[in-house]
Amino acid sequence: MNIEHRNPKSRGAVPAVLAAMVLAVPLCALAQQGQNQPRAVRTTDHAIQVYISEDALQAQYIRDLDVDELGTTEVKLGVFYNEDRDLLAIGDLLLPVGEVRDQPRRLEFRVGSRVYGAFLANENEDVFGVSVGGEARYFIGQRRSTAVVLSAFYAPDILTFGAADNVADVSLRLETRLNDGTNIFVGYRALEIDVVPVDRELDDNLHIGFRRSF
């Protein structure tokens, strides 16, 4: 009797779709709440954020939603591209932790999820990953115009589909405000995808960038 052995990663399409649907629920709920209860959800900021390093660049659209029950929820959508011609679509949903309205704190935390949809050029393979993590922001000085920001996200094997086993993404940056609508920053990012037989470092460099609110 012949028994067909299948790589469990080959059945990743269905879990990937389910994971995407699960992540879409809170976004749809926010949108619906904004339509039905305009006082509960208020758009407080739109922004674009771009950075460039020696080997990569990333551009993001950012929207902050002021949700009465949750605080300021941050939604990000962006694309990443590097010199190896790897292309990633990235989406974030970050919720504040311990936020107190009208009482700015020196140290702020956000937790949530980051979704990766990647095409790896060298391997000619697709990767889909759902990570969990967050960011910590420490403001320097009373004016809150300069901050150190640490972010970390990890997609374990169970939530990574396609040609990879996991995704690890860590960054540290120093940012400062030039004026009411523009921030600039310098930082370092390590973005790695675990692909057999070797790990792929999509970004492992210093970078500079800006964020423009409108």
Q: What is the pLDDT of residue 214?
A: 86
Tell me the C-alpha to C-alpha distance, in Å, between residue 100 and each of 65, 67, 70, 72, 149. Answer: 16, 13, 10, 10, 19
Residue 108 — very low, low, confident or very high, per pLDDT cuts 50/70/90? very high
Q: What are phi and psi of 7, to 5 degrees?
A: -75, 120
Flag the least confident range among 71-75, 165-169, 203-207: 71-75
Could you tell me what percentage of the chain is helix, strand and coil, using 3-state DSSP and rounding each to the nearest 5?
15, 65, 20
Please, is 89 exposed, middle or buried when counting C-beta atoms within 10 Å of its C-beta (0-12, 13-18, 19+)?
middle
Pairing of strands 199-213, 164-179: unpaired
Q: With bands split at pLDDT 50, 70 and 90, how would you rate the model's confidence at 33? A: very low
- CATH match for 8-213 among 2.60.40, 2.40.160, 3.30.365, 3.90.660: 2.40.160
* Residue 134 banded pLDDT, cuts 50, 70, 90: very high
Burial of 151 (0-12, 13-18, 19+ CB in 10 A): buried
pLDDT in tens, 110-132: 999 999 999 999 889 999 999 99
Distance between CA atoms of residues 132 and 36, nearest Å:
30
Please state the domain extents for the chain: 8-213
